[in-house]
Structure 1
Amino acid sequence: MNYNLNSQDTTAQQSTSGKRLLKLFAYIKTEHRALLTVFGIMVISQALTITVPFVVGYTIDHYVFTKDFSGILKWSGVLLGMFLVNLLFSYWQTLMVGQVGQRMLYMLRNAVFVKLQELPIAFFNQNKTGDLISRINNDTDKMNQFFSQSLVQFAGGIMSMIGAGIFLLSINFKLGLATLAPAILLLLFTRVLSPLVKKRNAANMKSTGGMSAEIQESLSNFKVIIAFNRRDYFRKRFDQVNKENYATATSAGIINNVFTPVFSFCSQVALLAVLAYGIHLISLGEFTVGLLISYLSFAMYFYNPIRQLAILWTNFQMAMAGWDRISQILELESDLKVLPASPAKESAPLISFQHVHFGYADSKEILHDVSFNMEQGKTYALVGPTGGGKTTTASLIARLYDPTAGQVLLNGRDIRSYSPEERTSKIGFILQEPFLFSGTIQENIVYGNPVYAGYTAEQLEAVMEEYGLNTLLARFEDGLATNIVSGNDGISLGQKQLIAFMRAVLRNPDLLVLDEATANIDTVTEQQLEAVLQKLPAHTTRVIIAHRLNTIENADEIFFVNHGEITRAGSFGHAMNMLLQHERRS
């Protein structure tokens, strides 16, 4: 399945934008009541604001020209009261929207992270970590900025325009039409340019994600860069993505700012039309000075938000571009579905491959029509040249991937019919490059193991002694309390493999897969690990992938894996002959 987020068809993405916008409202359904309250406050606030020009015009015509100072003071007090009420409503509104924005940011980031945990390894193989981080951090933040800062101004501007438009048309219909005519041109201008604004902002976000991925990759592999003295290579790569980001940012910036001058020009033309036509009406005796001042104010209340909307509309398009990128993740489904459980076959082997084919996305097939069985309680070894398919076979055994054709059975049942909890309780997997979390050794070895999750250090040490793991634990100065910082060189790769080994053994699995688990461990320690494996229950099946001959010489059965085929090698000597023949041919 293609999980590459950056290779998806942009035309298809644009066609689903409307559906994604509806999904956004579904995601923030818990905030609907708060948003309705905010909009209610906003209606009252805008109603008070839009009434101000009418009160000012009325006061000028009825009290200023007649020099009635008591009336001026009375209506000035009314205006002051309106301003104070509006201040309180504005503060309340800003506070609520800020809280909604932060809750939405938390909710979206949590939803994306939960979705990432549901997706298979194939997804992470096809997408760069830096780009995913950018989607979680930058793209969700664009949405938060719009909802917590721009949304109120955006909705308030729309309400101000509607209210001002109603007053403009009701006071003088012809003058109102002349005032609103430039707004129609702006609406058409905005409609034509909006898709381009969104497209360029989406391109900028994509290039930002690419730059983040490049930085993450360079920093993660900085030791290699130093060792090979290739700072120039990574400097060139960063310069390339930085230039691309600069180009997309410049392009987005230009299109984002094209609205403001056009909107300002149209608003100035509208005000000029009001002033010229209004003076003409006053000369005919159809208008008063106070009414003209009110009318100019209403025109400004209509066009000032339009100038703000030029910026806010850009923010909205950026938020929607960010939501599209986030939606790409949220809409994905894992292809590792749990199937309905089928009856298990009696006296079935622990693991059975039946005509299995497999290939990674966009690559040639790696395993071709593979069939073999593994019985319970035995030790199996997978040997063969690099790239032959050993780790791929182990990954299929642990259901890190599903076959593209054929079937893998676990205890006579399709492995796809086991829930993730059932499967991981039965299968332990020690990877070539074990991953440890920042924390103590105790926290790492009980990770994902509910049996020992609540154990104290003393209780866990007693359990480890039963399994013979105390000799391995003694290699760490502070024992279970030894602190580990992920990505830090304070702990060697060999020590990481020891911790991963202890973590897997404590799960007491029915099947334990060791993929080069002793590659970075000395011979003495390897012998200690072998002693620990001998203490595992008799029903535990071991699958060992190793290049060291002494690691596999005691295996009950050896499989030779090469060119996508798995062949029973028989004895240890026979397996070695097959390896030697392959080396001679190559």
Structure 2
Amino acid sequence: MKKETPSGNILDIQVLKRLFVFVKPYIVQFNFLIFLTIALAVLVPIRPYLIQYAIDTEVANGDYDGLIRMVWLLVGLLVVQAFVQYYHTYLSSWLGQHIIRDIRTTLYAHVQRLKLKFFDNTPIGRLVTRNVSDIETLADVFSQGIAMMIGDLLQLIFILGFMFYTNWQLTLVSLSTLPVLIFATYIFKEKIKVSFNHVRTAVANLNSFVQEHITGMNIVQIFNSEDEEFKKFKEINQEHRRANIKSVLYYSVYFPVAEVIQAIGIGLVVWYGAINMIDSAFKPGELIAFIMYIMMFFRPIRMIADKFNTLQMGIVSSNRIMKLLDSQEHIPDEGNYVPDNFQGSVSFKDVWFAYKDENYVLKDINFEVESGQTIALVGATGAGKSSVINLLSRFYDINRGSIAIDGVGIKEYDLSALRQHIGVVLQDVFLFSGSIRDNISLGNPDIPLEKIIEAADLVGAREFIDRLPGGFEYNVMERGATLSVGQRQLISFVRAMVYDPKIIVLDEATSSVDTETEELIQNAINKMMKGRTSIVIAHRLSTIQHADKILVLDNGEIKESGTHDKLLAKDSYYSQLHKMQYKEVLIRE
């Protein structure tokens, strides 16, 4: 499995600007959040100032009523601060959740438009990490990262202002340890930046491995390789543990160091203030207020360092999300042709295609299928048969040549309109976790249950569906695990038929079913093909004898074409394939 490498520069202003695009729909709430942040920053340092005033004025003068007024003022200030803190926390979380919802929606919509080639080269677990874990990390950026960091910075500014206004000498003494704290914070920031990069990489690699191997668990067990795969898992899991422990180590060192530096600062203030109080240079209230100021001042610095890590994680995740969003590996949907009367004639002219570079899997392919005709593609594994149907539906784009339907190039079609008229039944049937009805209609509300039942009757799937608990509402579980291969194949036929396509593509559609089910499906296929253009890929030559044209492919080239009888008479590629299958049937019998 290919390991993911850390992204580049983490604190990327360009990425933050791109993230801010998702904030614009909520600009009113964002501005109000900034207002609450400023208000909170102002309210926090007022409390020590009021306590100083109460001690040095009301207490010093023995003004009991004045002291009571100051107490009530402090209580009122705390109540206001509590309400502002509540709305600030709630609004920042609300904003974060709405923004990541929009980002996740945008990302998933983008992933849906990517070429199949992209999914061929990208681990599914990594895409899951992008859509779930990385975006979840962004929620912390908006709810706890940026807003909190701005608030902490503003608190520092206001606290410094109050400190200098109260006593500039004590301020300088209290800030004498600040350079040491800044240096420690910088070292911590740099170390934790690299550490969290490793953490996110370890998470992505772990997700990819687990997803891939759980999906392929049957292969692991069939080949008795549980021990080998478990060793690989332990190594990846160990790397994940090491990355997290390393980040915890930096936390465990930094925060005690910050506490010691704060304690030294408080000690210096107490020492310097006590000496000057003896000479009546300072008042007791000033000293008490400064102790509170120092505790308030060092707290935002520690929190900024902590929130900076949240921001670091978010920027790392953002870089990866933006990289996925920037991927241009999608089928360009620039056509706008929507036919009023789709007939289904197909034409391939001088088509060349390669999945990678110039390793062509199709070479100079030329053929035509008239509307309502049936064409069959035969050949050995890897001959290029499936590539032909992938190109027709524009799952991939050709390198050279042209493909047209009803005389119009497929790139001129609106992509949705094109695929709406092409029904594809694959050999490897994929069913989603959910009811049979939902797997047939794919959640399309325009397909009523009556139409689904009608298609199931035609295919012959109604009988086994009715025997299942709940019938069409039966939950097939993930990938259709509770159904047999034949039952899944029958459902895929029903799914293709309810959309009433003009072109039917069958890719080894009967190769995974027993003889009885194959006969059932073949009868349904014959009914389904009437009035439709049909492209059939089949290993069993007995199922395509009545095709209007048979193309024999070998190594990406059309070696010969014609009807079943004419190809047999040539005694060439098709004839050899037919003889080989005939021998296999005799051996089995």
Task: Give the TM-score taking structure 1 as reference length.
Answer: 0.87
1:502-554 alpha-carbon deviations (Å, 9 max, x no partner): 21123222221111110112233323333323334654221111111212222
Task: Structure 2 unaligned segments of length 5 or more: list them.
Answer: 582-589
CA RMSD of aligned residues (A): 3.2
Are the counterparts in 1 of residues 198 and 243 from structure 2 also a CA contact under 8 Å? Answer: yes
What residue in structure 1 maps to residue 66 of structure 2?
Answer: 71
**Alpha carbons of 1:302 and 1:393: their partners in 2 closer, same or farther (altered >3 Å)?**
same
Which of 299, 303, 313 lines up with 1:304 in the alignment? Answer: 299
2:104 is the alignment partner of 1:112: no
**Alpha carbons of 1:173 and 1:309: their partners in 2 closer, same or farther (altered >3 Å)?**
same
What residue in structure 1 maps to residue 97 of structure 2?
Answer: 102
Q: 1:119 & 1:176 partners in 2: Cα distance?
A: 59
Please state how far the C-alpha of 1:16 moved relative to its aligned partner.
9.1
Q: 1:250 & 1:412 partners in 2: Cα distance?
A: 63
Letter in 2 for 1:472: A
SS in 1 for 2:332: coil
1:12-60 alpha-carbon deviations (Å, 9 max, x no partner): xx38932221111111223332232233233333322211111111222
**Alpha carbons of 1:252 and 1:546: their partners in 2 closer, same or farther (altered >3 Å)?**
farther
| Larger CA deviation: 253-262 vs 485-494 | 253-262
**Alpha carbons of 1:187 and 1:562: their partners in 2 closer, same or farther (altered >3 Å)?**
farther
**How do 1:288-367 residues align onto structure 2 when only pairs under 5 Å count?**
288-340=283-335, 350-361=345-356, 364-367=359-362
2:511 is the alignment partner of 1:513: no
Please state how far the C-alpha of 1:184 moved relative to its aligned partner.
4.9
Which of 505, 529, 539 lines up with 2:521 in the alignment? Answer: 529
Are the counterparts in 2 of residues 199 and 321 from structure 1 also a CA contact under 8 Å? Answer: no
1:332-389 alpha-carbon deviations (Å, 9 max, x no partner): 3443102346899xxx992223332322247833223333333322211211221222
2:147 is the alignment partner of 1:155: no
Letter in 1 for 2:7: T
**How do 1:165-314 residues align onto structure 2 when only pairs under 5 Å count?**
165-173=160-168, 175-180=170-175, 182-184=177-179, 186-187=181-182, 190=185, 194=189, 197-255=192-250, 259-279=254-274, 281-282=276-277, 285-314=280-309
What residue in structure 2 maps to residue 546 of structure 1?
Answer: 538
Letter in 1 for 2:228: Y
Letter in 2 for 1:473: R
Please state how far the C-alpha of 1:215 moved relative to its aligned partner.
1.5
Letter in 1 for 2:198: A
Please state how far the C-alpha of 1:276 moved relative to its aligned partner.
4.1
Q: 1:464 & 1:279 partners in 2: Cα distance?
A: 91
**Alpha carbons of 1:413 and 1:472: their partners in 2 closer, same or farther (altered >3 Å)?**
same
Are the counterparts in 1 of residues 344 and 533 from structure 2 also a CA contact under 8 Å? Answer: no
**How do 1:83-98 residues align onto structure 2 when only pairs under 5 Å count?**
83-98=78-93
2:131 is the alignment partner of 1:136: yes
What residue in structure 2 maps to residue 493 of structure 1?
Answer: 485
Which of 5, 10, 16 lines up with 2:7 in the alignment? Answer: 10
SS in 1 for 2:21: helix
What residue in structure 2 maps to residue 145 of structure 1?
Answer: 140
Q: 1:186 & 1:363 partners in 2: Cα distance?
A: 59
Letter in 2 for 1:50: P
Q: 1:82 & 1:9 partners in 2: Cα distance?
A: 47
Q: 1:528 & 1:312 partners in 2: Cα distance?
A: 64
SS in 1 for 2:461: helix
SS in 2 for 1:432: coil
Q: 1:463 & 1:384 partners in 2: Cα distance?
A: 31
**Alpha carbons of 1:531 and 1:39: their partners in 2 closer, same or farther (altered >3 Å)?**
same
| Identical-residue share of aligned pairs (%) | 27
Letter in 2 for 1:67: G
SS in 2 for 1:366: strand
Q: 1:365 & 1:181 partners in 2: Cα distance?
A: 71
1:122-149 alpha-carbon deviations (Å, 9 max, x no partner): 2222222222222222222222234334
Count of residue pairs the alignment pairs up: 570
Are the counterparts in 2 of residues 473 and 480 from structure 1 also a CA contact under 8 Å? Answer: no
**Alpha carbons of 1:462 and 1:296: their partners in 2 closer, same or farther (altered >3 Å)?**
closer
Q: 2:552 & 2:246 partners in 1: Cα distance?
A: 56
Please state how far the C-alpha of 1:151 moved relative to its aligned partner.
5.1
2:40 is the alignment partner of 1:48: no
Q: 2:167 & 2:2 partners in 1: Cα distance?
A: 55
**Alpha carbons of 1:415 and 1:196: their partners in 2 closer, same or farther (altered >3 Å)?**
farther
SS in 1 for 2:68: helix
What residue in structure 2 maps to residue 570 of structure 1?
Answer: 562
Q: 2:385 & 2:195 partners in 1: Cα distance?
A: 45
Letter in 2 for 1:475: F
**Alpha carbons of 1:488 and 1:355: their partners in 2 closer, same or farther (altered >3 Å)?**
closer
Letter in 1 for 2:134: D
Letter in 2 for 1:10: S
2:388 is the alignment partner of 1:380: no
1:87-143 alpha-carbon deviations (Å, 9 max, x no partner): 222223223333333333433333322222222222222222222222222222222
SS in 2 for 1:520: coil
Q: 1:370 & 1:253 partners in 2: Cα distance?
A: 60
Please state how far the C-alpha of 1:173 moved relative to its aligned partner.
3.8
What residue in structure 1 maps to residue 585 of structure 2?
Answer: none
| Larger CA deviation: 274-283 vs 101-110 | 274-283
